């Protein structure tokens, strides 16, 4: 089958279209004909070798972390899917490979494609939607009536996070560029900060949760939280070294929690908090 595969780490030329063996299927696996696959920053990080220590893929390997398509064949123990079903998925970290004509997905990582969405729309959802859910629900435990600041509201994670936060009953502020202010308002943002014109740290106060997918200067900027010792902060970018008021690792669930993108010991898509060390 044709696939985009990583032949060597650390080079853009290392990812090339090539012929690869068709994936086999296990007892609980589903073989899917891929109709659409989305490209994420995670793919570039894997291609460049950023996760070699925790995800030791053996080159050449097929890249790609989410997709939509049609079921071709199922393993003998699969009961929830049948050939012909339209599905979408974010495969497990040990079975990535959606940039191909065919992909194998464990049945637990697969879902029926929403009938109202195209293949392309469905393929764009799994990774960013799971990331937003892990950060807001699993880690920050966002509650109705709380106030959340979502940085980069017009990005892949941000667009989902705004809608999810509103669904959870939260008051949502977000940062974006001038061109996207109307769009993020339509997604449900209550307060929109044009970062080209305003400094969010000077405009916002008393926020319970901050979701940061940018890192760098954003992490170092003044916080929108009035009580940093009690405000969860979910950061999907690598946090800077811990400093007073911005600790990257605080074990108490009652303390401000900083959730970081995957580092040694964590998997892609995981927002790691508390005592877990992923920075």
Q: For 125-167, write each residue's pLDDT tens digit.
A: 999 999 999 999 999 999 999 999 999 999 999 999 999 999 9
Rounded to whole angstroms, the Cα distance separating 152 from 211 reads 9
Give the per-residue pLDDT at 94: 87
CB neighbours of 249 closer than 8 A, spacing ≥ 6?
242, 258, 275, 277, 279
What was the pLDDT predicted at 119? Answer: 98
Average pLDDT for residues 79-94, to the nearest whole number? 96
pLDDT digits (tens, 9 = 90+) for 178-225: 999 999 999 999 999 999 999 898 889 889 999 988 765 665 565 555
Q: What pLDDT, in 10s, does the model give residues 36-76?
A: 999 998 999 999 999 888 887 999 999 999 999 999 999 99
Share of the chain above pLDDT 90, in %: 66
pLDDT at 53: 87
Strands 171-176 and 147-150: parallel
- State yes or no: pLDDT of 262 exceeds 70: no
Q: 3-class DSSP state for residue 268?
A: coil
Q: Please check the confidence at residue 269 and state whether its pLDDT lies above 50.
A: no
Asked: is 127-259 a CATH 3.40.50.720 domain? The reply is yes
More confident: 73 or 249: 73
pTM (2 decimals)? 0.78
Residue 66 contacts residue 98 (beta carbons within 8 Å): yes
Q: Residue 177, exposed/middle/buried by CB under 10 A (0-12, 13-18, 19+)?
A: middle
Please give the mean pLDDT across all residues of the chain.
82
Partners of 85 in the beta sheet?
none
Domain ranges of the chain: 2-123, 127-259
Mapped onto helix, strand or coil, the DSSP state of residue 19 is: strand
Fold of 2-123: Quinone Oxidoreductase; Chain A, domain 1 (3.90.180)
Residue 261 has pLDDT above 80, yes or no: no
Residue 236: pLDDT over 60: no
C-alpha to C-alpha distance for 209 and 172, rounded to whole angstroms: 10
Task: Report the 3 state secondary structure along 200-231.
Answer: HHHHCCCCCEEEECCCCHHHHCCCCCCCHHHC
Find the range with the poorest average confidence among 120-129, 150-159, 173-182, 265-274. 265-274
Query: How large is the average pLDDT for residues 252-263?
Result: 33
């Amino acid at each position: 089958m044709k696939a985009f595969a990583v032949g060597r780490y650390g080079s853009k030329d290392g990812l090339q279209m090539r012929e690869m063996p068709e994936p086999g299927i296990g007892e609980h696996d589903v073989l899917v004909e891929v109709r659409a696959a989305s490209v994420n920053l995670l793919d570039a990080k894997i291609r460049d070798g950023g996760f070699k220590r925790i995800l030791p893929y053996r080159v050449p390997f097929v890249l790609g972390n989410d997709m939509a398509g049609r079921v071709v064949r199922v393993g003998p123990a699969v009961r929830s899917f049948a050939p012909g079903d339209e599905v979408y998925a974010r495969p497990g970290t040990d079975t990535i490979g959606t940039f191909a004509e065919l992909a194998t997905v464990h049945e637990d990582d697969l879902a029926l494609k929403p009938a109202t969405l195209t293949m392309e729309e469905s393929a764009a959802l799994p990774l960013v939607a799971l990331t937003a859910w892990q950060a807001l629900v699993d880690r920050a435990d966002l509650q109705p009536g709380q106030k959340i600041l979502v940085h980069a509201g017009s990005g892949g994670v941000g667009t989902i996070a705004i809608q999810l936060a509103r669904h959870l009953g939260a008051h949502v502020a977000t940062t974006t560029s001038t061109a996207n202010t109307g769009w993020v308002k339509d997604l449900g943002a209550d307060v929109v900060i044009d970062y080209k014109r305003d400094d969010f740290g000077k405009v916002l106060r008393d926020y319970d949760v901050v979701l940061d997918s940018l890192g760098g200067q954003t992490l170092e900027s003044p916080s929108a939280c009035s009580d940093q010792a009690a405000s969860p902060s979910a950061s999907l970018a690598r946090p800077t070294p811990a400093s007073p008021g911005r600790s990257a690792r605080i074990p108490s669930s009652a303390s401000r929690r900083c959730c970081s993108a995957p580092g040694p010991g964590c998997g892609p898509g995981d927002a790691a908090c508390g005592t877990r060390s992923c920075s």
